[in-house]
Structure 1
């Protein structure tokens, strides 16, 4: 583990190989592991060559192989195919997407539950979230100490109680069933950390066997106007 981390990065461990990324255990405060890389290749060329279909377009490996690319585009493609292969061999189910934007949740104006909101992932079985942004705006993570679960904020909790019409004993189950308890508010002065481009990350998930807090993260607002090239599983 690197020792020159800022206080906000003390929950991150940096590694130098996929093997270490996949198998280094989360422990203590560590709930985000990063295989930090500087990638060559022209990933924007791949984004421009893919035939887009709606807000989010999934690229299949076969389609990726069929793209007519320059030498730099081919280098980027080789990296993408290798990352897909590494994760698949690890037992994950990676998806490569070109993202124009995500759908925003407007069901509850005071409490959006879309991926632009800081949130954690939950699973009934042990698993992790892997992701890498190759092009476009990158995701952000928030140190757990800098976030507060929204359902614990009094004014938000009061509004949620107005939506709930069951017994008091069932309120917590209501919050979980509608995923309200997965979302977080950044505290004043919080400093989210950009995951950057090209780095492959593994984030801790809320599951029954987890020994660490789940990693708080969110998708970026598409401020640059660029479509994102994102691998996630």
Structure 2
């Protein structure tokens, strides 16, 4: 299989789940990809799941209860296997059927929803795992091609206008409202599309981290098409 991400220095491409878990993320390397070409009819699964909200969590029991064709059963077995691999590794996977995420429209100059490039933060050592089985795929952005939004002069001035207090209190305000987690692409930057079927491990900002956190975002959904995403 060709390495689709060979020219991306921040990405380690592996061929097994143990390699995905054992790859050391450090320095500029902040993403690992178990690159796969999955078989099965994931579209059939999406068509038979019930969307109860714009984002609906699908239980393994719900998935097991579907009546599927042979290719649908192949796809289901793949999802269940991925779910179990992550659970056995100590993660808490969630299978989501997504029409859309909630949008942050409070301010017209900065957004803190998942459609904005952002990093994940945790008080403990962890990683973000995700796999898009169907629909539009997530994207990541090399850190050197991104700029923290709170450091963009015009955005910072507008944020300061919302806050009255000391410089130390302002920095705490940025953290408490998650403004500091969000980034914008520099001119000419091209995001990396994570594709379908690949299982990704993305670095999170936490106290013991030895690499930069991975900047990523949810894609805009395609009109009339749901996404099927495994994430934890």
- TM-score of the pair, normalised by structure 2: 0.97
Could you tell me which residue of structure 2 aligns to residue 217 of structure 1? 216
Stretches of structure 2 that go unaligned for 5 or more consecutive residues are none
1:146 Cα offset (Å):
0.3
Q: How does 1:168-187 map to 2 (within 5 A)?
A: 168-187=167-186
Could you tell me which residue of structure 1 aligns to residue 132 of structure 2? 133
For residue 56 of structure 2, give the secondary structure of its aligned residue in structure 1.
Answer: strand
1:153 is the counterpart of 2:145: no
Distance in structure 2 (CA, Å) of the matches to 1:99 and 1:51: 11
Distance in structure 2 (CA, Å) of the matches to 1:217 and 1:169: 28
Distance in structure 2 (CA, Å) of the matches to 1:201 and 1:84: 13
Could you tell me which residue of structure 2 aligns to residue 82 of structure 1? 81
| 8 Å contact from structure 1 (residues 141, 192) kept in 2 | yes
1:190 Cα offset (Å):
0.2
Distance in structure 1 (CA, Å) of the matches to 2:143 and 2:168: 28
| 8 Å contact from structure 2 (residues 98, 227) kept in 1 | yes
1:223 Cα offset (Å):
2.9
Could you tell me which residue of structure 2 aligns to residue 64 of structure 1? 63
| 8 Å contact from structure 2 (residues 27, 212) kept in 1 | no
Length, aligned pairs only:
230
For residue 176 of structure 1, give the secondary structure of its aligned residue in structure 2.
Answer: helix
Quote the RMSD (CA, aligned, Å). 1.3
Q: How does 1:14-163 map to 2 (within 5 A)?
A: 14-163=13-162
Distance in structure 2 (CA, Å) of the matches to 1:18 and 1:155: 44
Stretches of structure 1 that go unaligned for 5 or more consecutive residues are none
Distance in structure 1 (CA, Å) of the matches to 2:66 and 2:24: 38
Distance in structure 2 (CA, Å) of the matches to 1:166 and 1:138: 41
For residue 71 of structure 2, give the secondary structure of its aligned residue in structure 1.
Answer: helix
| 8 Å contact from structure 1 (residues 137, 224) kept in 2 | no
Bigger drift between 46-55 and 163-172 goes to 163-172
1:169 Cα offset (Å):
2.2
- TM-score of the pair, normalised by structure 1: 0.96
